[in-house]
Amino acid sequence: MRSSSYSVMPARTLRSLVVLALAAGAAVTAPPARAETAPLAAKPYMGWSSWSMQSSKYPGLNPDGDYSYLTEANVLKQAGALAAKLKKYGYEYVNIDAGWWMDKAWKSGFDAYGRQKPDPARFPRGMKAVADDLHAKGLKAGIYLPAGLEKGAYGDGRTPIWNADGCTTADIVYDDLRTTNGWDSAYKLDFAKPCTPKYIDSQAQMIADWGYDFLKLDGVGPGSGKSGDQYDNVADVAAWNKAIAATGRPIHLELSWSLDIGRAADWKKYSQGWRVDTDVECYCNTLVSWENSVDDRWDDTPAWTRHAGPGGWNDLDSLDVGNGEMDGLTKAERQSYATLWAIAKSPLYTGDDLTRLDSYGLSLLTNREVIAVDQGANPPAHPVTPSDPQQVWAAKNTDGSYTVALFNLADKPASVTADWSTLGFTGKAAVRDLWNHENLGTYKNRITQALPAHGSRLFTVTPRGTALTWTGIEAEAPSNTLSGNASVADCSACSGGKKVGNLYLGGKLTVNDIVVDQPGTYQLKVAYISGDARSVDVSANGGGATRHKFPSTGDWGTVATVHVPVTLKAGANTVTFDSGTGYAPDIDRIDVPQS
């Protein structure tokens, strides 16, 4: 399950109320499977998840009431379609989301040890039988649990903990029964009590005995719209990591949702993936919509990019691009959605009805060149131009080429240009269109494409020119001019050990004596620090300013770079960064490409 830490929408409020009813479990029936040798999350995982169809109001998906889609029969039907259509492209996980332990009125079921027990109407053969069937198809089985001890599992506090003599549910939570997780649907576990880890051990052993390969732990904080000690579940995640290891079964641990980036080190230490944002689903009569909330990812992903890599990945949520009308998106939006997920190296798991993929959706989900961007050894892309409506994202690949994506996030058509100088070279480059499997030829200095509203292109760019040389100027250089609140501050991460900050409410930094040999438009590389996305007005030589929104760098101790175009004259120039009536990012330095 999921929800938003940025804005709570009515549909998510509905979901939060629904989730207050969550709970369930089942008996241990089988020994743990042998551990595999392949490392977990060496690449972003690929597969299918049940939640998008569970949460949608699309006609026919939930005929027995809200969230009723989740049944054994439906899971196995989707698994059959995945095995037939997508498995050969790398899709292998079938993830059962929230509700497997609840009846269709959302009444929870628990076993004698306070663990979630599968609802007999939804899963009449139990969860092990489903995992066995998935494995028989050559697939992997995923399951879901919320953080904490669900209220319904507490009972009167006397419910025994499996394999923990003398321990009961009263012995694993705080005496004041403080709540936790994104919906306050559970009591917070008190890890100062010796019985508490044994409860997590019992849950981990249960799902390992059932044969599950993946666990989504949901409502985790800090994140999930909550903060503060009551909602700090890092100890829970650490306990899950240890408990899973003790089972001897490799189980991928995925955390959800909108995780606090300030605890990224913990998420990376204890899990294999973390949701960086709110739910992608719209809780409406389609699976998703562009505005609610596919488009959020372009703003929220950049800060997390540096945290992704083998062993742990930034999770952008379900990729619902395969069903056309049911997805609720235009073709251009579907391609942009899939493009961002691929270049960000997000797990590729769809929530579509795999039994009725349309031809365009199937082509998006099975494009081997695009899948290779997501699954290959190259790093995730990041914005090389600011988070404005027309954006360029890029990553330098291990072979010296670049993955380059062009996005037009505006509501009307526009041209988008990738300038080779933002990639660090000048001259010619060969361009290949990955979506269309087409070599486009050689382009000098840049490529410009006319894109529809919310449209995109995805290229491999192979340089044939020469590396650029740059002239660097520190923001704090004595020759520069500071106005208003702007001031120099220490910055251990910055190139000169200092930065210019306090650019707010009229604060300005003017960088003087920028000398170029030839007039023209130059892509200035701006190194900056910003704990959230902030905008700044950039102008040259006292002329008209252009406002650019710089993506968050994740915190106030991390430096990132973007490129902004400025028109310079031959000789000496000035460039001004003006906060205007708002708050601008702190500036570390600028680098000017030589003519």
Computed over every residue of the chain, the mean pLDDT equals: 94
pLDDT at 340: 98
Q: Estimate the share of the chain in helix, then strand, then coil, as percent rounded to the nearest 5.
A: 25, 30, 45
Residues 224, 5: contact at Cβ < 8 Å?
A: yes
Q: b/e per residue, 213-249, with b = 16+ CB within 10 A? A: bbbbbbbbbbbbbbeeeebbbbbbbbbbbebbeebeb
Could you identify the residue written with the tokens 């292109």? 457
Q: Among residues of the chain, what percentage have pLDDT more than 70?
A: 94
Q: Which of 2-6, 55-59, 211-215 has the lowest mean pLDDT?
A: 2-6
Model pLDDT for residues 542-565, shown as the tens digit of each residue: 999 999 999 999 999 999 999 999
pLDDT at 22: 39
The arithmetic mean of pLDDT across residues 399-419, rounded, is 98
pLDDT at 38: 74
pLDDT at 513: 95
Interatomic CA distance for residues 58 and 347, integer angstroms:
25
Residues 143, 95: contact at Cβ < 8 Å?
A: yes
Contacts of 176 (CB under 8 A, 6+ apart): none
Model pLDDT for residues 321-367, shown as the tens digit of each residue: 999 999 999 999 999 999 999 999 999 999 999 999 999 999 999 99
Among 530, 560, 561, 565, smallest CA distance to 546 is for 565
* Tokens matching residue 587: 């500036």
Could you identify the residue written with the tokens 């372009």? 298
Is the predicted pLDDT of residue 34 greater than 50, yes or no?
no
Model pLDDT for residues 236-269, shown as the tens digit of each residue: 999 999 999 999 999 999 999 999 999 999 999 9
Is the predicted pLDDT of residue 18 greater than 70, yes or no?
no
pLDDT grade for 21, boundaries at 50, 70 and 90: very low
The arithmetic mean of pLDDT across residues 513-533, rounded, is 97
Interatomic CA distance for residues 338 and 362, integer angstroms:
12
**What is the number of other CB atoms lying within 10 angstroms of the CB of residue 557?**
12
pLDDT at 562: 98
Interatomic CA distance for residues 9 and 88, integer angstroms:
38
Is the predicted pLDDT of residue 467 greater than 90, yes or no?
yes
Could you identify the residue written with the tokens 């923990």? 164
Q: Which of 9-18, 28-37, 143-152, 213-222 has the lowest mean pLDDT?
A: 9-18
The SS3 call for residue 318 is: coil
Model pLDDT for residues 357-388, shown as the tens digit of each residue: 999 999 999 999 999 999 999 999 999 999 89
**What is the number of other CB atoms lying within 10 angstroms of the CB of residue 124?**
12
pLDDT grade for 33, boundaries at 50, 70 and 90: very low
The arithmetic mean of pLDDT across residues 442-450, rounded, is 98
Instruction: State the DSSP code for 194.
Output: T
Model pLDDT for residues 260-294, shown as the tens digit of each residue: 999 999 999 999 999 999 999 999 999 999 999 89
Q: Among residues of the chain, what percentage have pLDDT more than 90?
A: 93
**What is the number of other CB atoms lying within 10 angstroms of the CB of residue 174?**
15
pLDDT grade for 37, boundaries at 50, 70 and 90: low
Is the predicted pLDDT of residue 540 greater than 90, yes or no?
yes
Among 148, 186, 155, 185, smallest CA distance to 170 is for 155
* Tokens matching residue 475: 């923001």
The arithmetic mean of pLDDT across residues 16-45, rounded, is 55
pTM exceeds cut of 0.75:
yes
